[in-house]
A = this chain, B = another copy of it.
Amino acid sequence: MPAHYSLSETEEAVKRRLGPIPVRREALAAVSNLYRAAAAVRQHLENSALRSADLTWSAFVVLWVVWIWEEIETRHAAAEAGISKGTLTGIIKTLESRGLAVRRQHPDDGRLALLRLTPEGLALMEKLFPAFNDEESFVVGALDDEESLHLADTLRRIITHLEEHGEERRENLRRESPAPPRRGGRRRSS
């Protein structure tokens, strides 16, 4: 879904609108393009490699994580996939209903659940992953290998920075001006 206005048109409109408001344009451009690129890449992969298997991005990422680790605790699967444990519950349901993964109780700790692929899930990943990786190659097709690695490294620095200092930053902001809780969430059963 390409944008309707051209880059230069948008630049002009932003300048007109922001006027005297000071802007860090490098940060704005980097964050804006980061999100747009991620959305475009996800869109492409869902509509190419993942389309034939009728999998969403998140479902595939969960399958990938479980595949790599053979058997994994659900809490770790959520962390590796980068989603919340609540979201993972729904995705596991979808995968189980399609016979691609199974859940079982942890033998020692009754609170934990373990996740595995079924033989069908295993066969699917062995067939699907090469096609997925081919599309990943296409996605970075405008870059050579060195540039791709440099990009990966730059992004990793952003991720690490946020993991190490993000919570502290958000806490300081909340101290300055207490924020309302996010919408949603189960209501108290009165």
Contact = CB atoms under 8 A, between A and B. Distances in A.
Interface of A: 1-5, 10, 13-14, 17-18, 21-24, 26-48, 51-52, 54, 67-70, 75-76, 78-80, 82, 84, 126, 129-130, 133-134, 136-143, 145, 147-152, 154-163, 165-166, 169-170, 173-174, 177, 179-180, 182-183
Copies of the protein in its oligomer: 2
Contacts of A161: 139, 141-142
Given A30-B152, A149-B30, A4 B80 contact: yes
Contacts of A162: 40-41, 43-44, 139
A36 B13 CA distance: 31
14 contacts: A10-B80, A14-B68, A27-B136, A27-B137, A31-B45, A33-B152, A34-B37, A34-B41, A34-B151, A36-B159, A40-B162, A40-B163, A143-B157, A151-B155
B82 A28 contact: no
Contacts of A21: 126, 129-130
A84 B151 contact: no
A10 B23 CA distance: 39
Contact of A138 (B45, B76, B169): B169
Given A38-B35, A159-B37, A29 B148 contact: yes
Contacts of A182: 46-47, 51, 54
A58 to B, nearest CB: 10
A172 B78 CA distance: 34
